[in-house]
Amino acid sequence: MGQRAVGGKADLSQVNFDTNGAANLSGTWEFYWNQLLTPKDLMRSEHAPVLIFVPGSWHRQGDYNVLGVGTYRLQVTLPPKHKGLSFHFPVINSAAKIWINGELAHEVGTASEDPEKYGPMFMRTIVPIPDNVAEVDLVVAVANFTYFRGGFGATPQVNKASSIYTDIGRSQGTVNFFAGCLIAMCIYQLILFFMYHRGKPYLWLALICLGVALRSLIVHGGSYLLPNLYPSVPWEFWKKIEFGSVYAMVALFPLYVYNLFVEHAPKKPIYFFIGVSTLLLVTVIVTPQYVYGRLLEVGHISLLLMFIYAVYAIVKAWRAGNRDARIILFGVLASFPFVMGEIMKNSLLYPLNIRFAHLVEMGVLVFLLFQVYLLANHYAKSYKNLETLNLNLEKMVQERTGQLITANTVKDRLLSVISHDIRSPLQSLRGILQVYNKGAISRDEFDHFAQHIEGDLDKTSMLVENILYWTANQLKGMQVKMETFDLQVLINENVQLFETIAATKKIRLNHTSESMVITTDRNILNLVLRNLISNAIKFSYEHGEVNIHANLHNKVLTMCVKDHGAGMDEETLRALTDPTLQVNINNTTKEQGTGLGLLLCRSYLEKAGGQLFIESDAGKGSRFNIVLPVI
């Protein structure tokens, strides 16, 4: 509603308080400076009033000292019949006596012209109006020797007493809700600070939440919860907390931004903000309220500079690729209008009559919403990454378990082979030597047996070599070692190695004779080729042949070892690819094979990036194809 008070009079005779609610008494009141007058004093003609605007501090509306006394007067016209009306004074700075129609109705603190007898009080005031009284002469004598503003800090009102208490309860509930949210966020941020080694931003944000929460429970227009809970605590103490929390923000918020983006935020301005905040806080501690209260404009300017610094640092971090900076910037920009409104509302130079309350609390909570979103986003990503990690870990465990099972199976097969294929040739050799040494057989007979023993020892040597290579692979891991060599030389070495065994079975070894320089793991290729030639001879019929062919095309080596021997059926071929299955293959001399060599060959080639393909027909022979990328 508009201004009701004009020239020291307010006509509320047409107001329906049941439907229209409260009537504001803002406007021009009669004012008597430097005089603490009673209604009787005002009846004397020598007291000449001036007009002054309410609400507002008297020192801003004339040549008046902020410290002193003054008397306000307003003649109020009410409806002829009314009941249950009251005057509501949200803020009177800082002690007052209130008269209604010449009767002292209420006293706030101790209003006295003597500063020694004066006592401020920090509370809202509700004064009942006698029922059905149409004309009310309202006199408010105010004394202020402590606060940096004197007179009415907020607009007086007339309303139903029940409505006033309802509005107060609603306002206090709102403020307490904001304060509770801020205190909860303070505790939450402190927990984050102690949990994370880089949690300094959470500490500064926790102190910001605590400061704003305390201010909302103390400041004029707030809930007055703390002063009401502790009425014996001096009024000055609460004011020091109120202003101290504001001045502390000058350092706390820049510290929060700096520690959040320490790699991008300038450090030198931090010293400025800390210095200004420290000087303001020291002033709050050592001086009375009317002194440090006048520095509020310095605090406001510092707060504006603080926002400029924050925006600059956050934008710099955003441009540097920090994704969190974008969210923080939106939070700062969204909260700035609320804080700016509070600054303009409490400005000492050009205050604006902004009726919207709880601006600071709203601004901080808006910013905290963005902060909470950022934390929630981090937690969501962490949980998602953890879930992915668990899935990958589970998959790795399953794969590793399979590898261990396979390795264990191969180990069991190796032990079985060792127990038979190595022990048998050694026992045969020992038995032949014992018989020969006793003279039971001739030299010619010994030479005949020696040829068989040599073949057995060659196979045993191959088996031992496979076992040693496999064991080194299991203990140290397969390390592919690239070497440049002539493939023709490697093939010739292996052919010469098996010439005696092949000649015993009258088998011809055919191989390529062209020089072919390649770069790959020589040991792996040599071991695979040796096993394949040995198997081809073992499973070939007498007077047969083994063909070895190699071809190099587009840096891919293709080798083929082909025999015309016993061959294998489809079931045996499938078993050769499964290390968990036991394979028994009869060669052309009725000696059983285990397929272990082929299994190891396949594993070695895969480590080097190659593959082994087997084609076979029972009774017609087998074809072993090596495909290996080379350099």
pLDDT tens digits for range 578-614? 655 655 555 555 555 566 678 778 888 988 899 999 9
Predicted confidence at residue 271, as pLDDT, reads: 95
Report the percentage of the chain scoring pLDDT > 70: 85
Higher per-residue confidence, 311 vs 415 = 311
pLDDT digits (tens, 9 = 90+) for 446-471: 777 666 666 666 666 766 776 666 66
Predicted confidence at residue 488, as pLDDT, reads: 93
Report DSSP letters for 35-59, one per residue: ----HHHHTSTT---EEEEESEEGG
Residue 265 has pLDDT above 90, yes or no: yes
Helix (H, G, I), strand (E, B) or coil at 319: helix
Predicted confidence at residue 579, as pLDDT, reads: 59
68 Rama class: left (phi>0) / alpha (psi -120 to 50) / beta: left
Where does the pLDDT of residue 399 fall: very low under 50, low under 70, confident under 90, or very high at 90 and above?
confident
Is it true that 5-155 and 478-631 share their CATH fold? no
CATH T-level fold of 478-631? Heat Shock Protein 90 (3.30.565)
CA distance 53 to 59: 11
pLDDT digits (tens, 9 = 90+) for 110-165: 999 999 999 988 788 999 999 999 999 999 999 999 888 899 988 899 999 999 99
* Strands (E) located in 275-412: none
Residue 382 has pLDDT above 90, yes or no: no
Do residues 631 and 519 make contact, with C-beta atoms less than 8 angstroms apart? yes
Question: What is the rounded average pLDDT of the residues 427-431?
Answer: 71
Predicted confidence at residue 586, as pLDDT, reads: 56
Predicted confidence at residue 387, as pLDDT, reads: 80
* Opening angle at CA 265, ends 260 and 269, nearest 5: 115
Predicted confidence at residue 588, as pLDDT, reads: 54
Helix (H, G, I), strand (E, B) or coil at 198: coil
Range with the poorest average pLDDT among 207-216, 353-362, 501-510, 517-526: 353-362
Do residues 612 and 602 make contact, with C-beta atoms less than 8 angstroms apart? yes
Return the CATH number of the domain spanning residue range 5-155: 2.60.120.260
CA distance 510 to 546: 6
Environment class of 138 (CB within 10 Å of its CB; exposed 0-12, middle 13-18, buried 19+): buried
Report DSSP letters for 442-489, one per residue: -HHHHHHHHHHHHHHHHHHHHHHHHHHHHHHHHHH------EEEEHHH
SS3 helix, strand, coil % of the chain, rounded to 5? 55, 20, 30
Predicted confidence at residue 175, as pLDDT, reads: 82
Where does the pLDDT of residue 352 fall: very low under 50, low under 70, confident under 90, or very high at 90 and above?
low
Where does the pLDDT of residue 350 fall: very low under 50, low under 70, confident under 90, or very high at 90 and above?
low
Residue 20 has pLDDT above 70, yes or no: yes
**Centroid of chain to Cα 64:** 56
Report the percentage of the chain scoring pLDDT > 90: 43
Range with the poorest average pLDDT among 206-210, 382-386, 566-570, 571-575: 382-386
Per-residue exposure over 335-355, b if at least 16 CB sit within 10 Å of its own CB, e if not: bbebbbbbbbbbebeebeeee
Where does the pLDDT of residue 220 fall: very low under 50, low under 70, confident under 90, or very high at 90 and above?
low
Where does the pLDDT of residue 258 fall: very low under 50, low under 70, confident under 90, or very high at 90 and above?
very high
Higher per-residue confidence, 452 vs 55 = 55
Range with the poorest average pLDDT among 31-40, 453-462, 500-509: 453-462
Question: What is the rounded average pLDDT of the residues 163-190?
Answer: 87
CA distance 586 to 588: 7
Residue 420 has pLDDT above 70, yes or no: no
Residue 569 has pLDDT above 70, yes or no: yes
CA distance 509 to 609: 28
How many C-beta atoms lie closer than 10 Å to residue 273's C-beta? 22
CA atoms in the 13 A half-sphere facing the CB of 96: 29
Higher per-residue confidence, 384 vs 511 = 511
CA distance 604 to 597: 11
Residue 502 has pLDDT above 60, yes or no: yes
Predicted confidence at residue 413, as pLDDT, reads: 59
CATH T-level fold of 165-384? Rhopdopsin 7-helix transmembrane proteins (1.20.1070)
Question: Average pLDDT of the chain?
Answer: 85
Where does the pLDDT of residue 307 fall: very low under 50, low under 70, confident under 90, or very high at 90 and above?
very high
Residue 419 has pLDDT above 60, yes or no: no
Main-chain dihedrals φ then ψ at residue 394, nearest 5 degrees: -60, -40
Higher per-residue confidence, 619 vs 97 = 97
- Name the residue ranges covered by the structural domains of the chain: 5-155, 165-384, 387-477, 478-631
